[in-house]
Structure 1
Amino acid sequence: MSVVENFVHRLPEPLRSLALRHRELVKFAVVGGTCFVIDTAIFVTLKTTILVEKPVTAKVVATLVATIVSYVLNREWSFRTRGGRERHHEAALFFLVNGVGIGLNSLPLGVSRYLLHLQEPHLSRFGEEVADFVSAQIIGTLIGMAFRWYGYKKWVFPEADARPRAKKSYDS
C-alpha cells in the first residue's frame, strides 16, 4: 500500500469517501504540493543569491523547473487514466497551459513589486520578503493552480479512461 493510499484509508469515513470520489483532484493537489515545495525552494534560493535584483526572473525559473516535474507526475500519476492525445501533442498543450500558468503565477509578484512598490525603500526588508512570498507563493500559486486544473482536464488530458488502469487501488 502506497503512502497516499495508506493516508486515505486512515481518514475518517466522510473524508475517505470524498477523497476516493475525487481521487484525481487529491492526486493533483499532492503533485501541486510537491511542486510548490520545489518552486518555493528554488525561488527563495535564487532570489536571495544570484537573482537578488530580479525576483520575477527568479520566480519564472523556479516555476519552469516545477512545471517539468509537474508534467511527469501529473501524466504518470494524477491523470494516469486520462488522455486522448498523442504524447507530443499532449506535452505541447501541457507546456502551453503551463506557460499561461507561469504568467498567472508571476503576475501578482509583478503587481506587488512594480505597481504597488511593496519593496525597499518603501517597506522594510522583512516587509518586502513577506509581500513577495504572499504575492508569488500564495496568491500566484492559487491563481495558477485553478487555471492549470481547468486546462489539464479541458485541453491536455480531455478524455477520462483513455488509458487503462494499472491496478484496482487508489494509486492507479
Structure 2
Amino acid sequence: MSLAETVVSRLPEPIRSIALKHRELVKFALVGGTCFVIDTVLFFGIKTVILPNNPVTAKIIATLVATIVSYVLNREWSFRTRGGRERHHEAALFFLVNGIGIVLNSAPLYVSRYLFHLQEPYVSRFTEELSDFLAAQIIGTLVAMAFRWYGYKKWVFPEENARRRPIDEEEALGHS
C-alpha cells in the first residue's frame, strides 16, 4: 500500500470523499509541499553560504531547482491523466508558467529588501532573516502557488486534452 493510499484510507469518510473528489488539488499540494521544502533548504543554504549579498539571486536559483522537481512530479503524478500534448510543448508551457511564478515568488523578497530596506544595517539580523522568510517563503510562495495552480489547469495540463480513461479509486490515490 502506497503512502497516499495509507493516508487517505485512514481519513474519516467525509474528508476521504473530499480528498478523492479533489485528488488533483491534494496531489498538487503534496508536490508543492515537497518542492517548498526543497526550495526553502536551498534558498537559505545558498543565501547563507554562497550568495550572502544576493538573496534574490539565491531565491531564483532555489526556485529553479524546485521547479524542475515540480515538473517531474506534477507531470507523472498530479496531472498524469491530463495533458496529451507533445512533451516538449507541455514542458515549454510548464516552464513559461513557472518563469512567471518565479517572478511572482521573488517579487515580495525584492520589495522587502530593496523598497522597505528590511536588511542590515537598517534592521537587526533576526528581523532581516524573518522578513526574508515571510516575504520569499510565505507570501511569494502563496502568490506563485495560486498562479501555478491556475496556469497548470488552464494552459499546461488542460482538461480538454485529458487522456480519456476511467480512473478507479486505487489509481486516484496514486497507486498504478
Distance in 2, matches of 1:2 and 1:86, equals 29
CA RMSD of aligned residues (A): 1.4
- Aligned ranges 1:112-151 → 2 under 5 Å: 112-151=112-151
CA deviation vs aligned residue, 1:84-123 (integer Å, no higher than 9, x gap): 3111100000000000000000000000000111111111
The answer (yes or no) to whether the contact 1:80–1:163 under 8 Å persists in 2 is no
The more displaced of 94-103 and 156-165 is 156-165
* 1:58 match: secondary structure: helix
* 1:85 match: secondary structure: coil
TM-score by length of 2: 0.94
2:30 — aligned with what? 30
Distance in 2, matches of 1:123 and 1:99, equals 31
For residue 162 of structure 1, report the CA deviation from its aligned partner: 1.6
The answer (yes or no) to whether the contact 1:43–1:58 under 8 Å persists in 2 is yes
- Matched residue type, 2:155: W
2:62 — aligned with what? 62
TM-score by length of 1: 0.96
Distance in 1, matches of 2:36 and 2:3, equals 19
Distance in 1, matches of 2:101 and 2:121, equals 30
Structure 2 regions of 5+ residues with no counterpart?
none
Counterparts in 2 of 1:39 and 1:165: CA distance versus 1, 3 Å: farther
* 2:50 match: secondary structure: coil
- Matched residue type, 2:48: T
Distance in 1, matches of 2:132 and 2:59, equals 10
The answer (yes or no) to whether the contact 1:28–1:78 under 8 Å persists in 2 is yes
The more displaced of 149-158 and 8-17 is 8-17
- Matched residue type, 1:99: G
The answer (yes or no) to whether the contact 1:112–1:118 under 8 Å persists in 2 is yes
Distance in 1, matches of 2:65 and 2:166, equals 28
The answer (yes or no) to whether the contact 1:120–1:128 under 8 Å persists in 2 is yes
Paired-residue identity, % = 74
- Matched residue type, 1:39: D
- Aligned ranges 1:56-95 → 2 under 5 Å: 56-95=56-95
Structure 1 regions of 5+ residues with no counterpart?
none
CA deviation vs aligned residue, 1:15-54 (integer Å, no higher than 9, x gap): 1111110000000000000000000000000010110000
- Matched residue type, 1:162: R
**Runs of 4+ residues deviating >2 angstroms:** 163-168
The more displaced of 33-42 and 80-89 is 80-89
The more displaced of 71-80 and 154-163 is 154-163
